Homo-oligomer: A and B are copies of this chain.
Amino acid sequence: MAFQLGSVATKLEMLSTSDHSSIVSMNMFVALLCACIVIGHLLEENRWMNESITALLIGLCTGVVILLASGGKSSHLLVFSEDLFFIYLLPPIIFNAGFQVKKKQFFRNFITIILFGAVGTLISCAVSRKSLKSWILVPWILEIIWVSTLLLVSVSFFILVSLGSDRFCSVILAIGAIFAATDSVCTLQVLNQDKTPLLYSLVFGEGVVNDATSVVLFNAIQSFDLSSINPSIALHFAGNFFYLFLASTLLGVVAGLLSAYIIKKLYIGRHSTDREVALMMLMAYLSYMLAELFYLSGILTVFFCGIVMSHYTWHNVTESSRVTTKHAFATLSFVAEIFIFLYVGMDALDIEKWRFVSDSPGTSVAVSSILIGLVMVGRAAFVFPLSFLSNLSKKSANERICFKQQVVIWWAGLMRGAVSIALAYNKFTSSGHTQLRGNAIMITSTITVVLFSTMVFGLLTQPLIRFLLPAPKQSTSALSSDPNTPKSVVVPLLEHQQDSETELGGQDIPLPASFRLLLTTPTHTVHRYWRKFDDSFMRPMFGGRGFVPFVPGSPTERSPR
């Protein structure tokens, strides 16, 4: 272990930023980050814009300025290092997503989704038993996003198989994984966790697990030669995926529980608030690095570490530590997101990549259009059927998701963001350069899709919501300081969903009652058993709400963001 450590030496020496030009660019970058925050604040009232779009636009403008100043040679301050992204920027974003997510809603949904997935997989297996290629559909069991990924994958797959070009399978699977990653930042700005809990957790929770699964799927694909698919390879692939998924989750849960145990047992807050905060940060980061060490998915690990930490560890620390961790993690995540979008905006104008594209503009436009089309079809393919199934389990008509609301759910998840970009760079570049023509086209197409979806879909989200879901009798709330923001517009959506669980013995059951019971009963049972286990074993051991001598609360209480 220690024998290899010498090589790190040279690495970290290169981190040197003492020469003046790098200080100039660091200054500009930090100043641009500040500008994004201030401008983002000023545009908060204008609900057409959001932070991501602001950062993208500022990045584009800076890119133009640099391009002109450098005489068309370069358009960015920093070269995108995939490692910078995966080692420093992504972990805080994903950890914070796990830390702030509403666990109850998330897990209730999670189980429902697994049920959906299992039924869906059984059906598709039965349908296409004769074709062994349906093995690729197995991961569908896991999550909702799989449906969209696999639709993308299988559409491209069947097109290519019919064209006889089996050798592109790996690339196509990778593209599927790249574009399966929804941008969860935009979702946050459209939906309100307190008012539409189920809708929020559906779209946001989906986005988060989505990012993680994309990365896992992507890594699994990378390590396999899928040019000739046969049952044993497909089985191996599925097995590898499950191993990655389960081992990563387990590592995250263990790291979270360990931090909870240490902080509870040693009662670290007795002497120092700072030690608690430092320990939580370092343990979370350690879990991510450990996952990378064992070739697991750091994203999944740190996401589940965040969930466990918010359920146990967060309740074991002092009041100041709670406020601090809640906001400090959110701030780090926020800055990392702006950083990425600012960078993407600057990088979009990079000359080197577009040189290849300028030879064949037709191909590039065609690829981008096909990708955008596939993203839209892929999302429609699971939002509408799932909403239909969800509606079947509803008692009264006003609890159902109407068609207009389904359109909003579909639309809110169309944006593709930083994770897509990072995965595309990972797949299609070697050390920051795009030598091959095909790779250059894939990178530029990814950038085009991200820019287009963020700008066009992002800008149109608010007007669409206003058009489709006009504000009902102005519901004033203590949480939303400005009742004119669209956050309060989405109120009627699924607001009473969680009540349906407690009234399960119900009286006015609509038509497919048996189907509804099939969907809600297992969820309910699993949740009850979990609560029992949690109360009788986990909480006395690892702390948590009510098991430590502090005022109860939750990091998921929404502050105005």
Contacts and interface: CB of A to CB of B under 8 A. Distances in A.
Contact of A14 (B14, B270, B283, B335): B14
B27 A286 contact: yes
A326 B327 CA distance: 12
Interface of A: 1-27, 30-31, 33-34, 37-38, 40-42, 44, 65-66, 69-70, 73-74, 76-79, 81-84, 87, 262, 266, 268, 270-275, 277-279, 281-283, 285-286, 289-290, 292-293, 320-321, 323-324, 326-328, 330-331, 334-335, 431-432, 481, 559-561
Contacts of A76: 5
Contacts of A42: 266
Contacts of A22: 7-8, 11
A464 to B, nearest CB: 22
Contact of A324 (B73, B281, B328): B328
Contacts of A283: 34
Contacts of A326: 320, 324
Contacts of A266: 38, 41-42
A244 to B, nearest CB: 17
B8 A11 contact: no
15 contacts: A5-B66, A5-B74, A9-B74, A9-B432, A10-B79, A11-B16, A11-B17, A12-B78, A13-B432, A16-B81, A17-B87, A30-B282, A41-B272, A273-B561, A282-B335
Please tell me how many copies of the chain the complex holds.
Answer: 2
A287 B152 CA distance: 47
Contacts of A431: 13
Given A13-B431, A15-B83, A5 B30 contact: no
Contacts of A290: 27
A151 to B, nearest CB: 32
Contacts of A70: 2-3, 5-6
A414 to B, nearest CB: 25
B275 A37 contact: yes
B2 A274 contact: no
Given A273-B327, A324-B331, A25 B8 contact: yes
Nearest to A324: B327
Contacts of A3: 69-70
A333 to B, nearest CB: 8
A12 B278 contact: no
A27 B286 CA distance: 6
A286 B34 contact: yes
Contacts of A14: 11, 14-15
Contacts of A1: 24, 69
- Choose among A17, A23, A279, A281 the residue with the greatest number of B CB atoms under 10 Å from its CB: A17
Contacts of A334: 274-275, 278
Given A6-B74, A24-B1, A289-B30, A12 B270 contact: no
A474 to B, nearest CB: 20
